[in-house]
Structure 1
Amino acid sequence: MPSTYLFTSESVSEGHPDKVSDQISDAIVDLFLSKDPEARVACETMTTTQRVMLAGEIRGNNIMDEYGNWADGIQAEIEQTARQVVRDIGYEQDGFHWETFEFSNHLHPQSAHIAQGVDAAENKDEGAGDQGIMFGYASDETPDLMPATLDYSHKILAQMAADRHSGAAPFLEPDSKSQVTLRYVDGVPIAATAIVVSTQHKEGYDAGDKEAELHTYVKNIVAQILPAHLLSDDTQYHINPTGSFVIGGPDGDAGLTGRKIIVDTYGGAAPHGGGAFSGKDPTKVDRSAAYITRYLAKNIVAAGYATRCTIQLAYAIGVSHPLSLYVDTHGTGTVSNEAIENAINSLESLGGLTPKAIRTKLQLNKAIYRKSAAYGHFGRKAEGDFFPWEKLDLVDELKKAIG
C-alpha cells in the first residue's frame, strides 16, 4: 500500500430502496425465529412503486410445514410485519405508502436436498447452509475498530434519519446516500477531501433559501460526525449534486435484498465473500461466519496483536467444519499470523468454528436481525447494547493462548 493515498466509502440510509428490502427480509427472519429458534429462512424482498414482494425458502414450527401449508394467522403476520417496517422508516408517499402498497408473498418450503445437508443426524453434525468464503475485519482507525470512511458515512446518515424522525429536520425524506473520501498518510487518515450527500427532500428544497438551508444543515451534520482536524476549507462538498431529489425510495428505483453488501461490511477496506446477510437465518454461514470473523478480528486488534486484521473462513455446504482459516495482519502484527491462527483454533470458549458452535457462542438464534439491516452490521450498537459479534470478551483468552 502506498504511503499516501485517497480512500472512499459510501453508505445508504434506511430509506434507500435496497435497504428497505433488507429490513423487511430481516424483520421476517426475526418473526420466524421468534416462533421457532431453529427456523430455516432465506427470504428475499423486492420493492418498487407501491409494491412489495417476498420470495424464498423457509421451514419452521408454527410457520409452514414441509408441504407448504401455513400455520394459522402467519400470512397475515408476515404482511403486517412488512407494512410495519415501511411505516417505521417513514414512507407515506403517493408512490410508496406503508398502508396502501400491494403486497405478495411467494415464500415456499425449503428444499429437502438442502435440509438433508444442513440438519444434524445420528451420523453427522449440523452442516453449513451453503458453500462460500467469509471475511471479517477490524482496524484501529476509529474507537469502534472500523474503517473511518465507512464509519463516518454511516453516522452522517444515521444522524440525519434521527433528525427526520424527531422533527428536527422536517424537510428530509427517507431516501439518502453518503460518501466520504479521506486522505491517508502511512495508514492514518489526515484530511477529508470530499463529502457527498444526496438526500430526498420535500418540494422546494432544491433552490433559493430552502436549498441553502438544506446545504447548511448537511454541512453541520458532517461537522458533528467527523473530527474537526479532518475538515478544512479544502474539503469539497457535493450535496444533492444532481439537483432535485423529491422522487425517491422504491418509487424512484426498485430495491432488492442483498445489493448493498459492501455498505453492510467494511466499505471496501476489506474483502467480502460475496454472500449477503439479510434475510438469512444463522445456519447460513454467509451470515454467521461473517459475524464470527468480525468478532475474532476485532478482539485481535483490541488485544494489541495488530492495528489491522483480516480473517477468512471457507465452508462446503453440508460440512460442519471450515475448510480453511486464514489470518492477515497486513504487516501490523506484533506476533505471527500463524500464532494467531493457532490461538483461534485453541480457544475453548469458541467450541470450534462449526455453524452450530458459532450460533451457540454468539447466541444467534434470536430475533435480533432487523436492527442490523441499516447503517452496517459492524461497528455499532443496537439500543445501547453491542451486537454479540461486537463484544470484546475474547481479549483475555487470546492473550493467554498467544502468551
Structure 2
Amino acid sequence: MMIRNGLFSSESVSAGHPDKLADRISDRILDAFLARDPHARVACETLLADQCVIVAGEFKTRCQDDFDAVRASADALVRDVLRESGYRDAETGIDPEHCEVQIRFNGQSQDINQGVDRADGILGAGDQGLMFGYATDETPELMPAPIVYAHQLVRRQAELRQQGVLPWLQPDAKSQVSFRYVDGRPTQIEAVVLSTQHEAGIGLEALRAAVLEHVIEPVIPAHLRANGLRCLINPTGRFVTGGPKGDAGLTGRKIIVDTYGGAAPHGGGAFSGKDPSKVDRSAAYMTRYLARQVVTRGWARRALVQLAYAIGEAKPVSFLVETYGTETDQKRDLAVELAREFDLRPQGIIETLDLRRPIYYPTAAYGHFGRGDVSLPWEQ
C-alpha cells in the first residue's frame, strides 16, 4: 500500500494480551521441538479461555523420544509463559499454578508429509499460499511509522509494570497510533489510543495522568506531536478484568500486529507455532529480507515483495517486487536480479536464513519485523 495523503493508523498489543499469550505458548512449544530436533515438523495451536489452556496440533520428529519429551514438558512450558507474562492469579486474568492445561498432540498427516519430504529429496512447500514482505525508508527500522510507535507504547507499558514504576499496571494492554501522511511521508501523530489493564484501586484520572506522563510522552517525540494531539487513555473508563478471564485468546489472530500494521498486504497465514517448512512463516521472513535488500541497496525507497507456492512444490509459482515508483533505476528488473541471487525454494530459504533453530519465541510479541532487541536473520 502506498499511503499518499491522510491519516493512517496501526495497533499493537502487549505480550499479556490473550491472543499474544496463545502465540507465545505456540512458539515456546515450537522452540522446544527445534531444540531437540532441528528437522521437527510443528503445527501448534493454543486456545485460552478463563482458567483453561488447550494446546493442540500436529507434530513429527525423527526420534519418538523427542516427541515424548516435549509432550511431557508442555504443561510446564505453558505455565512458564503465563508467569513470564505477569499473571499471578485468577483475578489478574489467569492462575499459572492452578489453571487447567490440556495437551492434545497428534502426529503429522502422512498426506501432508509426502508433499514436503519428497521422494526426490527436495523439500516441498508445506502448504499452498501467498506471502508478502515490505520495507520502507520512513523509519530506521525500515518499517511503517505507525506500527513502530504502536509497538513502542505497549513495550513501554510492560517495562514500567515489570520495574514496578507503576505497580498497579496489569499485563493486558493495547495501543493505536494515527499518523498524518503528506506526499507519502509520515509527518505527525494526531491520535494515540492506549488501553491498559489495571488494579481496581487506581482512580481513572490518576491512571490517565500517569500513563500520559510515563508511557505516552516518553515514547511520542515532541516534534511528531500534532497541535491538538488526542490521547485516549482507557476510553471505556475501566479495565480491571483482562487476560484470558476477560477475553479468549487464540493463536494467529494478530497477524497484522505481527507484520506491518496494515500498511502492506497480508497473505492471511499466521506465523506462530509453525516450523520453517511451512512457507506461511519462512517465506514471509524471506520476503521481508528481500524487501530490505531492495531498500538498503538503494534500489528503491520502499518495496513490497510477494511469493506464492503450491503445496508439495519447491519452486514458487509467482514472485513479485513492487516499488511504487520509488525505484532509482527503472531499467533494473528487481525480481529477476533477486531470483538470480537467492534460492526461493523452501530449502533455500531455510538455509539462507538459518531457520532450523529455536529462535521464534521472542518474535511472538511486539512484531516479527523491525526488531533491534533480538537478533533475527531476516533483519540482518
SS at the partner of 1:381? coil
Cα distance change, pair 197–149 in 1 and its aligned pair in 2 (3 A): same
Measured after TM superposition, the shift of residue 161 of structure 1 is 0.6
Paired residues in the alignment total 377
Counterparts of 1:64 and 1:259, CA distance in 2: 32
Preserved contact between residue 309 and residue 330 of structure 1 (Cα < 8 Å): yes
Q: TM-score, normalised by structure 2?
A: 0.96
Which position in structure 1 is the counterpart of 2:266? 272
TM-score normalised by L of structure 1: 0.90
Cα shift at 1:224: 2.0
Counterpart of 1:331 in structure 2 is 325
In 2: Cα distance, 1:331 partner to 1:74 partner: 49
How far off its partner does 1:337 sit? 8.0
1:221 CA displacement: 2.2
Provide the C-alpha distance between the structure 2 equivalents of 1:274 and 1:62, rounded to a whole number of angstroms. 32
Aligned residue for 2:215, secondary structure, equals helix
Structure 1 regions of 5+ residues with no counterpart?
Answer: 392-403
8 Å CA contact 2:32–2:70 kept in 1: the answer is no
* 2:102 aligned partner: 104
Please give the secondary structure, in 2, of the residue aligned with 1:234.
strand
Q: Which moved more, 1:226-235 or 1:242-251?
A: 226-235
The equivalent of 2:77 in structure 1 is: 81
| Equivalent position SS for 1:156 | helix
Task: Indicate yes or no: 2:233 matched with 1:239.
Answer: yes
Identity rate of aligned residues, in percent?
Answer: 51
Classify the secondary structure of the residue corresponding to 1:116: helix
Q: Equivalent residue of 1:127, what SS?
A: coil
Equivalent residues of 2:29, 2:70 under 8 A apart: no
Work out whether residues 35 and 62 of structure 1, in 8 Å CA contact, stay in contact via their aligned partners in 2: no
Offset at residue 189 of structure 1 (A): 1.4
Q: CA deviation at 1:304?
A: 1.2
Task: Report the residue type matching 1:173 in the other structure.
Answer: Q
Alignment partners' CA distance in 2, 1:255 and 1:2: 31
1:259 aligns with 2:260: no
User: Which residue, out of 139, 147, 151, partners 1:150?
Assistant: 147
1:64 & 1:131 partners in 2: Cα distance? 31
Alignment partner, residue 378 of structure 1: 369
**1:289 touches 1:313 (CA, 8 Å); kept in 2?**
yes
C-alpha contact 2:117 2:124 (8 A) present in aligned 1: yes
- What's the C-alpha RMSD, in Å, of the aligned pairs? 1.6
Task: State the alpha-carbon separation in 2 of the partners of residues 251 and 229 from structure 1.
Answer: 39
Q: Aligned with 1:136: secondary structure?
A: strand
> Which of 217, 224, 227 is 1:223 aligned to?
217
State the SS of the aligned residue for 2:284.
helix
Q: Is the 8 A contact 2:211 2:233 kept in 1?
A: no
Distance between the aligned counterparts of 1:213 and 1:303, measured in 2?
Answer: 46
DSSP 3-state at the match of 2:24: helix
Question: Which residue matches 2:315?
Answer: 321
Query: Would you say 1:362 and 2:366 are equivalent positions?
Result: no
In the TM superposition, residue 307 of structure 1 has moved relative to its aligned partner by: 1.2
- Runs of 5+ in structure 2 lacking a partner? none
Q: How far has the Cα of 1:74 moved from its partner?
A: 3.4
Listed one character per residue, the Cα deviations across residues 331-365 of structure 1 (whole Å, up to 9, x for unaligned) are 11112386111110121xx3x10111101110100
Contact 1:12 / 1:263 at 8 angstroms: preserved in 2? yes
Partner of 2:256: helix, strand, or coil? helix
Correspondences of 1:165-180 after superposition (within 5 Å): 165-180=162-177
Q: For 1:295-314, what aligned pairs fall within 5 Å after superposition?
A: 295-314=289-308
- 2:36 and 2:123 map into 1 onto residues whose CA distance is 21
